[in-house]
Structure 1
Amino acid sequence: MEQGKLHLVKFQKRWQLLSYAEAVLYALGIAVLCYFITETVWFGLVTFIMSVLLFVFMKKPWKHNLNATSSYIDAHVSEASFSTGLLLQPEDNLSNLAKLQRYKVSEELTKRLGDISPPNALKQAFLVMLGCISLGFIFHKLAIFPGVANELNNPKNTEQIQFVATDSVQVKSSVPAIEQQEIRVVYPSYIRLGSKTTTDPNIKAVAGAKIHWKLQFDAAVVAPVLDVMGELIPMQKSETGYQVQLPLTASGFYSFKFQNEEGTEFTSDLFSLEAVADNPPEIEILGLEQYTYFDFSDKKLVELQSTITDDFGIDESYIIATVSKGTGESVKFREEKLNFKEAISKGTKSIRATKTLDLNALKMEVGDELYFYIEAFDEKQPKRNVARSETYFAVIKDTVGEQFGVEGTLGVDQMPDYFRSQRQLIIDTEKLIKDKPSISIQEFKSRSNELGFDQKALRLKYGQFMGDESEMEEAPAVIESHEEGEDHDHTEDQENIPKEFMHDHDGDNEHNLVEQHGHEHEETSEEPEDPLHDYLHNHDDPEESTLFEESLKTKLRKALSIMWDAELHLRLYEPEKSLPFQYEALKYIQEIKNSARIYVHRIGFDPPPIKEDSRLTGKIKDIKNYSKNETTSADLPFEAIKNAVNRLEQLVQGEEEFKEDDTILFTSAGNELAQLAIENPGKYLQVLQGLKSIENNTGRNLENYRLVQKGLLLALPSTPQVPGSEKVYTDEINSLFLKQLEVYD
């Protein structure tokens, strides 16, 4: 019975698939027809996608579900006896007679459904596709629609360069026009794009390209020039007209000027020159921590994986690795250039580069540090763009450091006993454990208690870096229970044994260790409550200290917590249990110190020479205090544009007529707007053309005035002042919040 339902589902899927195939055939025929008419691949592709969606929506293959399939089979297969629907119902809900009928239908459909074809119009769709393809081929051969192809392939080719007279007096002679114009863009050789020919005067190309203009006039012209942002470049006469060449180095605007035989000067509209910058390569390092630490016994390998991309092609890329040896003034640096595992082909736009850095192969030892970054160059000419990644660090931990020491008879240790380093505490603890069998119990407990105090002093000292100005908190009240089997018989007289052997300054004199800055202040009802208390970052709170970044704060907090345990066991005369905590605290302290290190290249410094005759004399006769008074005047930015907007408002209202002095004003406004439009020429092109038509007396009408005024207003930057702002918030917290946002002066 399940076999019959399975064949029913297969029949349904075949039906849906044939419906989709019909839609694809219809769409393919229409798309090929459009391609032959327009001769544009992208237009044919868009037509195909839109046609597929349209015919799929018309055919609605999703409506051919199991219920529709069951109804179709009941109507076309007599052996089904209109009982196909029984296959879609749960068997438990059927009677014995229905189950028998279901079994019979399942057997019949298993035999018959393979020979039955779902309803479709596949042949019709195939014939329509062949007809559309044949019709399109005929149109293409007979060139019935040549204008459509030219319009789509060169949508802006019909934009011809038009000229108008610069003189406001009517010109009796006709204006020379361009019969043919050709603009060729020659790209730099490293881009590998060759050249492109267009008749669109608005040019957008990569910086460094060369632009060639060829113009052919229908009448004789005199001294034609190319005007690029005020720079006049004469055009050279050729066999058919005039030509000029210009390297594209920056964005801007240009126009053409010439005179006719009668001496009348003509100029064209403004057109944009947009130089697209060649961006430097982009480097991304994948899955690598910025700091990597290795123990001496670790396998010292750094797996470096990166992706390097460039818009036009990569020239070369490598790794700069610097090994640092030694500390202090004896530090030495060795720099190496390492190649990637993969060979980099010139001109590749995207590569995945990997490298395994072996610290042993770099001859690194314990305590040495490796700084490395990736450097990449593109093929830009004449000077390549360069990019470099962030610097990454690899460090081999130095767990044993050298300590300065002298013989007891040769010097005096000036380091106070109450402030020792963690490494020194470890050495003293190990010495105490070693001397335990040979010293008395009282001396052992006294020395253990002293080490506990030293551990406390060190903890308080490091606590200052977390913002602690006094001891952070009391020791935990509940002490973990001792291991079973240990004999700790403490009587009432022995409960305060550590106090008996404490330093005198362990309690009252504790302020000698850490300077106390905090004082208790009793809160009274007279003190006003600070409204910003809940919003401020309180540096007095140890948890909100910002001396370190979050990862370092976490490590230092762990180290302080471990020091608690180390001190606890020393106070309980258990130096053996304290020693592992001390080693762990030392590990965190070393990691914090190494993480906070910053590598910079050494640079030289030459101090100014000192006059030996005046050195150490103490005379300050010629030494004078330096003072300087300077008055500067700030020019108002875009003053001409603002004045032009006001003048245009008067012209729009009809209050005054256009004057000759206005030409100078609009020329200045155009120069200021051109400076703004260098980065984005297309945005202000229409406004500049309107200004130029006002200067040339060809656009002095109400419509052009309004267009130019709107464009100039949009070009003006927004002013930071807020005229007429009033203080409307009287609530204290809102006033302080708005003050922080600089709403008020």
Structure 2
Amino acid sequence: MIAALLQRWRQARRRRWWSTLLLALPLALGATAVALRLGGFDIATGVLLVALLAGAALATWRSRQLDRRWLVRQLDRHAALQDSADLLFAADDALNPLQHRQRARVHAALQTQTPDLRAAWSRRALLVAWLGALVVIALALGWPRSSGGTALPALATTPRATPAHPPRLQSSRLAINAPAYTGQPARVQSTLDAKVAQGSALQWSLRFSAQPSEAVLQFHDGRRVALRREDDSWTGTWTADRPALYRVVTVPALAAPRLYRLDVLPDQPPRVRVLAPDRTLVLGTPGQRQWTLQFEASDDHGVSADAQLKITLAQGSGENITFREHTLSLVGSGTPTLRRFARTLDLAALGAEPGNDVIAQLQVRDYRAPTPQTAQSTSVILRLPSVEQVQGAELEGMVKKTLPAYFRSQRQIIIDAEALIKLRRQLPAEEFIKRADAIGVDQRILRLRYGQFLGEESEGGAKPPPTSDALPTSDTPPADAHDDTDAHAHAPAETSDPAHADHDGHDHAGATPEAPPVFGSATDVLSEYGHTHDHAEAATLLDPQTRATLKAALDQMWSSEGELRQGRPEAALPYANKALAFIKQVQQAERIYLARVGPELPPIDESRRLSGDRTDLASRTLPIAAVPAPEPAIVSAWQQLADPASTPDLDAIAQWLQRNDRRLPDPLSLAAAIEELRVAPDCGACRAVLRARLWRALSRPTPQVSRRTPPDRMGQAYLDALEASR
């Protein structure tokens, strides 16, 4: 089949479909207007939906009537086709040569000119249908109602309610328009219970079986929203600012009133989380030029894409600290409810120098109108090292690498002594004494090294500070270590005072020429030009308490050395262990001693001494805050609820609820129980529900000391006997 012919066929079907639908649409609108006047919005919505579906179904059915037979009839009307249009749809094997030839002629004719198969628009029918629908709509919606009982010629009005025939809620419609910043679409529901966003505009549209003379919405906190009558509907508006319970109150009263609940969801403030760095205080590295920050902000309705990054630069130290603030604008990425903000700070552009602190804090806001809510992240601090800290980093590393080695050497001396004790039976006596003497030499070297921290002079002349010597470990002997021969040669010198032994190489006249000074050594400068070896307080590396502990360690080392030199390692072990314990205490103590300034107290007024005048003297005892006891009226109401014959004061409970609604987890449930009992005073289940919820709302009483159970007769006799025996 020719493609152009198929296109014309489809166009004819679409024209038939739209013509039918445009004729059915005014009928549907007219029926909807009549249903709206008679049955209300809900019924009108159903009528409109059914009418549109029926019109679409009718249009589809009429368009499908334009089938192949209809197409053949339409084509045969044209003389150029010679009544042979049916050959276009015949199978090839069913045609004879003459029919094939005739079909080719039909194809050629259609290729030359394809006829238009679309029917003309029925303009007159469409005009009549739409004009009639407009007239029906105008009459249904605009015809005024009269008190005689007829509004339209064939439409009866709703009867007026009387006490004998109370009204009933026939239909309800609640339109909810959330604030624009929430992004929630407007919705309409038929139920009067709802959960809405704070600030939503609510509109009620109620229809009753009989028209009341007055209708209002009565809220549990005393507020009232008057409903105004519009034809057969009663409408009212209210802005939801907080949760509430309400009921529909009419005159005369409704036949079956009930309580409705409105839960108002407040707009939560944004939440900001720091992604990078992973800690609030970051210690910078020397020469650091950049600092990367990443934040994440979330909100229930959306976070603004623009945020403010506050940068505070703290410069100086002590009381001379200055602050400079910078504010940077950031643009976030991601969804409105979850955005991420990132920025890499150029520390040089901010003016940050070594020793400064860079403090960063992100501030975001949400879309709440008219006043957005703001939130701030936790402050993150970048602490750049000062020049002194950078220069002292190597020295600190030397301290950490050198001093622990001294501590470990004392432990190694103990290990060597214990190993030598185990080999006593295997070694000759002379070899055993020789090895014990070697361990004693190691103990002497270690003792002299620790003595330098107390300002003591080393034996045999001035030496560099201990941090510049080789480490005195058991594996590598120190630079000034002696071998066995040297140890025996210097044995007489070792029996002198360890703090001031023989003054070798150092007398009061000056340094010996055989001991050249070491460049950069504070010890040699003092030994050449000063005189500080006779007082240990010149060493200020340790505080007095730590210095005393180190002196005790030296004493124990001296005793251990003496026992080892005499070949008695068993007797040296207790002293060595005590020395190790003292060294551990020194290791854990402060190394720098700073003089502390005492407090400057105000002068004492001596005129008031011994006078007994206690004016302006307050007690130092903190008062104990008493737990507020529950109101007696509420306790009484709770007790009365257990008695069906009593009448609790519901107004007092409602007033107490208004004063304490913020501390209750669900105040609306308690308010609903109050209203239910107010409507049905004889309802036993309602009394039980209110009593249970009131008990959960009451504050717990303060625990009291329970009195001891009184003794029985035998126990009392025993207590009396004890009392008499005193």
Please report the TM-score for the alignment, with normalisation by the length of structure 1. 0.44
Q: Which structure has the larger Rg?
A: 2
Larger relative contact order, structure 1 or 2 (CA cutoff 8 Å, min sep 6) = 1
